[in-house]
Structure 1
Amino acid sequence: MVQRVAIYCRVSTTDQSCSRQERDLLEYAKKADYEVVGVWKETTSGSKNNRTKRKQVMSLAQARKIDGVLVTELTRWGRSTIDLITTLQDLAHWGVSVIAITGLQFDLTTPQGKLIASVMASLAEFERDLVRERVCSGLAAAKAKGKQLGRKPGQRVKADKYAPKVLQMVFEGHSYRQIARELHLSKTTVNEIVKRDKQKNCSFLS
């Protein structure tokens, strides 16, 4: 039963305001008899990963200080399908739901939540395939122009050691930041491991 909620508002540009989102969410919380522990507002593009306020809300969830996150719609919370399913999984692990103002409650421990998670996981895989296809196309074009791709052998001992685990966690839907934190790697190293794997997969298609 959701009782304590954190309100999260986000707009994409500085000429926009979170005021309307905040007003609507506070009104909804009052009607639903939720205890609002705080309101977190930030201005950042949906594609950017520098969401300081969202990280603070996630920290509250991990500390079991809230039962739910209240948003106007899921696009305000998730950066992409992959990011959305990853954060929902983390929140579910901590017993926290994401609640949209439409009344939809995304709790992955319920049958409805599991169904939604399954659908979103399929969409995330589709999204990854599209990204992989675009990367392969770009690499093929670069190769055709004679550009040298990748590093020389023997220069990435640590990265090669962690590559299987990194790729497995990426497949499971974890974000690069989460993987870097759990494996004590830099986000750049994680990104390079995934990039090399995509290059290798593309080579099989050429």
Structure 2
Amino acid sequence: MIERRLRVGLAARVSTRDKNQDPEVQLVPMREYLARRGWDVGGEYVDYARAADFTRRQRWKQLLADARHRRVDLVAVWKLDRAWRSTIDCLNALKDWEARGIGFICVSQPELDTTTPIGRLLMTVLAAVAEFERDLIRERVLEGLENARRKGARLGRPSVLARAGFEKRWLEVRLMQARGRAPVGDRRRDSGAAHGRRAEPGAAVSC
């Protein structure tokens, strides 16, 4: 029985900040690596975008979709930062692929190969790093909030009183009320419509 060759999705990304970058710099060594391993190229997914710009990374989205549908058996990148912006994002993707039986390899660092025991061990280390990264992010957010409070910054949703033009509008409304002509919003509020409530039958509505 002939064993089926692995289909590998090659993911490459070049930043839009450097117009001189060529994705072939990443793709060529990956193709050569696959040839040495006897694997087939199942697809090449090239994006021209920043790592965090998932709106423009349409080919990366296609790779994720192909992985979900098992159109590839393994995903390969040249370097980790070509695929993910953080350890957490990397770990989440690798966990999902592992659950689907899809492998991963970083060609420039071949020890990062989830098809090998050493690679799976490094995944455990990566998980610890990701948890540490989460803790750092949480700690920085809390420190930032505390620093803002010390400086007297108002946290949470801005008050309606701080909106531009509020004072002028408030005076206009009060003047209309004094003349016996309440604005539309007040008439709707009196009838209960402003809060999605129906007026009680027979209730008087000011007009």
What TM-score do the two structures reach when normalised by structure 1? 0.65
1:3 positional shift: 0.6
The CA distance in 1 between the partners of 2:60 and 2:92, in whole Å, is 14
Give the SS at the match of 1:82: helix
The CA distance in 1 between the partners of 2:38 and 2:103, in whole Å, is 16
Count of matched residue positions in the alignment of Structure 1 and Structure 2:
151
1:34-81 Cα offsets, whole Å, 9 max, x none, are 111211111222344443222211111110111101211222222211
Q: Does 1:104 align with 2:111?
A: yes
Q: Does 1:78 align with 2:84?
A: yes
Q: Does 1:29 align with 2:57?
A: no
- Quick one: higher RCO (CA 8 Å, sep 6+), 1 or 2? 1
The CA distance in 1 between the partners of 2:155 and 2:139, in whole Å, is 17
The CA distance in 2 between the partners of 1:5 and 1:68, in whole Å, is 5
Gaps of 5+ in 1: 153-206
The CA distance in 2 between the partners of 1:2 and 1:105, in whole Å, is 20
1:139-162 Cα offsets, whole Å, 9 max, x none, are 11221232222359xxxxxxxxxx
The 5 Å alignment of 1:1-206 reads 3-13=6-16, 14-15=18-19, 16-50=21-55, 51-102=57-108, 103-104=110-111, 106-107=113-114, 111-151=117-157
Amino acid at match of 2:138: R
Is the Cα–Cα contact under 8 Å of residues 47 and 80 in structure 1 kept in the other structure?
no
1:90 positional shift: 0.6
Amino acid at match of 1:107: T
- The 1:123–1:4 alpha-carbon spacing in structure 2 relative to 1, beyond 3 Å, is same
CA-atom RMSD in angstroms: 2.3
Is the Cα–Cα contact under 8 Å of residues 15 and 50 in structure 2 kept in the other structure?
yes
Give the SS at the match of 2:145: helix
Greater helix proportion = 1
The CA distance in 2 between the partners of 1:66 and 1:131, in whole Å, is 34
1:84 positional shift: 0.7
- The 1:105–1:116 alpha-carbon spacing in structure 2 relative to 1, beyond 3 Å, is closer
Name the larger-Rg structure.
2
Is the Cα–Cα contact under 8 Å of residues 7 and 40 in structure 1 kept in the other structure?
yes
Is the Cα–Cα contact under 8 Å of residues 112 and 122 in structure 2 kept in the other structure?
no
Q: Between 132-141 and 61-70, report the one with greater CA deviation.
A: 132-141
Give the SS at the match of 1:150: coil
1:135 positional shift: 1.1
Give the SS at the match of 2:70: coil
The CA distance in 1 between the partners of 2:30 and 2:74, in whole Å, is 13
Q: Between 1-10 and 119-128, report the one with greater CA deviation.
A: 1-10
Percent identity between the aligned chains? 37
Query: What's 2:177 paired with?
Result: none
